[in-house]
Structure 1
């Protein structure tokens, strides 16, 4: 017993007013391990049970887990430092000038950190949401304290600063409780049977499984173009991320049906006239 007591009180570092013993290190390690254990048990049993009973969305679950993590771990680090005999007030006072300089140099990083906390608290953008970033539709895969992971349609993962999702205008498709309307543009040659064109457009929309029948697809005759009669096929769908594939399917099917019904899809054409005039003062080459 005396041996254990002596071992725990063995002084590893001894300065004027500071002493570090084995017991201090064991206390700090115990605090960190306890924090990890509490976090693990809380997520695996308490929070999971709560989420299942309340049917909490995945995005909200992720936000709550992150916020609890950002509270427990910093608190555990502070307590472990105090267990080591480190006075945070003294450390902060001694490094105040250094912290000011670091803060000025890391303004963008601090902005991203605050933006990450705002995202987790407000929930304007959550994990699993479909958003538009830099004119690209992406799915949010993870929200960190400084950056977020998003995945494009090509399954490319991008790292986006959190401030970009907070300060800039972001289209969040997942906030729509209703389906979103999309459209496909197409032009047909002058002289085509317009009623047949409308019928075929609606037929193509009704055949695709990703297009909703309610609200119904609609067709608009938009303009008399320079070389074509311009139509728009409007339809509703929940396929936000893969909508370009849906549009591609529609175009393939439209080309097939138009060929069967001999409806021409024109391309821009331009006629050029050359006017040849002989400009000379010689009467032999320029008769009256």
Structure 2
């Protein structure tokens, strides 16, 4: 019992001060337990809000996620202030919060603060949202989660990449589905100079129109883009909604079908060709033979 009393006395000793309030080990333990409970409850509340919004409103998933995240952080902030007050911390002055922020900035938290401010910007201006197909700093994928500090992107390789929110403010961001899920793909095609361009246009546009993943409106269109070194160059423009997140799959499918159709019609897809001109000439070689010197004439 004596040891228990000693441990109890030790845990009751103040270990730090927060403002004018001394915090003991018991206070810190109490603070930690309540904070964990607060995080768990707010997480459950966020999931409940998302579930209710899906069934009772017409909000898209990005808007629902943004609203629920803001509500959760507000509840965490208010709940944490209540917890601090419950352990006796005086909240009448803002010097505690200001001091903590100042200390954080001095020890190198500028990047964290920048990411949080950028996160607030993402939630208010909403240039990107959960479910969008984006490209930022060379990374292409779908946004699966946005927090105040970072955004999670799921790539086509099923790899999750955590991108700091400041990247969305300072870097160029391409959003493929911001205002519409429809995107246009450009598919280059080359054929032999022996081919009839109008026949090629008719055949390839017919292939595109028959593909289920290609939208009928706007209609597919084959553009005659120019004359290459060894082939006629075309660009096939197709619009899609179903393959916004898998554009390479649609391109591959169309290439297969275009190849088979052109082959069946006897239209050649040429290999690169080069004309080589070889210069020929005769190199004349002149051999100069040295003659022996004639002996000196004798004098009579």
Scaled by the length of structure 2, what TM-score is found? 0.77
RMSD of aligned C-alpha atoms? 3.3
Distance 1:79 1:261 in 2: 77
Q: 2:74 — aligned with what?
A: 71
Q: Which of 229, 232, 237 is the equivalent residue of 2:235?
A: 232
Q: Which of 255, 258, 278 is the equivalent residue of 1:254?
A: 258
Does 2:280 match 1:271? no
Kindly state the Cα deviation for residue 28 of structure 1 after the two structures are TM-superposed: 4.6
Mind listing any 5+ residue stretches in structure 1 that lack a counterpart? Answer: 1-10
What do residues 189-225 of structure 1 show as CA deviations (whole Å, max 9, x unaligned)? Answer: 1121222211210121012111011211111111121
More displaced stretch, 78-87 vs 207-216: 78-87
What do residues 216-267 of structure 1 show as CA deviations (whole Å, max 9, x unaligned)? Answer: 1111111121111111111111122111110111111111111111111112
Does 2:201 match 1:198? yes
Q: 1:4 — aligned with what?
A: none
Q: Is the 8 A contact 2:45 2:72 kept in 1?
A: no
What do residues 136-181 of structure 1 show as CA deviations (whole Å, max 9, x unaligned)? Answer: 5310011122111101122222111111122322121222337222
Distance 1:255 1:177 in 2: 31
Q: Is the 8 A contact 2:13 2:25 kept in 1?
A: no
Q: Is the 8 A contact 1:220 1:232 kept in 2?
A: yes
Kindly state the Cα deviation for residue 186 of structure 1 after the two structures are TM-superposed: 0.8
Q: Which of 223, 226, 230 is the equivalent residue of 2:226?
A: 223
Q: Is the 8 A contact 1:31 1:76 kept in 2?
A: no
Pairs within 5 Å for 1:10-49: 12-13=12-13, 28=31, 32=35, 35-36=38-39, 39=42, 42-43=45-46, 48-49=51-52
Q: Is the 8 A contact 1:13 1:19 kept in 2?
A: no
Distance 1:135 1:19 in 2: 50
Distance 1:224 1:191 in 2: 12
Distance 2:228 2:98 in 1: 73
Distance 1:133 1:266 in 2: 37
Distance 1:124 1:217 in 2: 29
Q: 1:126 — aligned with what?
A: 129
Aligned length: 272
Q: Is the 8 A contact 1:189 1:266 kept in 2?
A: yes
Question: Could you say which structure has the larger radius of gyration?
Answer: 2
What do residues 116-151 of structure 1 show as CA deviations (whole Å, max 9, x unaligned)? Answer: 121122222111111122345310011122111101
Distance 2:38 2:102 in 1: 32
Going from structure 1 to structure 2, the CA distance change for 1:85 and 1:235 (only over 3 Å counts) comes to: same
Scaled by the length of structure 1, what TM-score is found? 0.80
Pairs within 5 Å for 1:33-182: 35-36=38-39, 39=42, 42-43=45-46, 48-87=51-90, 91=96, 98-102=103-107, 105-177=108-180, 179-182=182-185
More displaced stretch, 128-137 vs 241-250: 128-137
Going from structure 1 to structure 2, the CA distance change for 1:188 and 1:71 (only over 3 Å counts) comes to: same
Mind listing any 5+ residue stretches in structure 2 that lack a counterpart? Answer: 1-10, 289-300
Kindly state the Cα deviation for residue 79 of structure 1 after the two structures are TM-superposed: 2.9
Kindly state the Cα deviation for residue 45 of structure 1 after the two structures are TM-superposed: 5.0
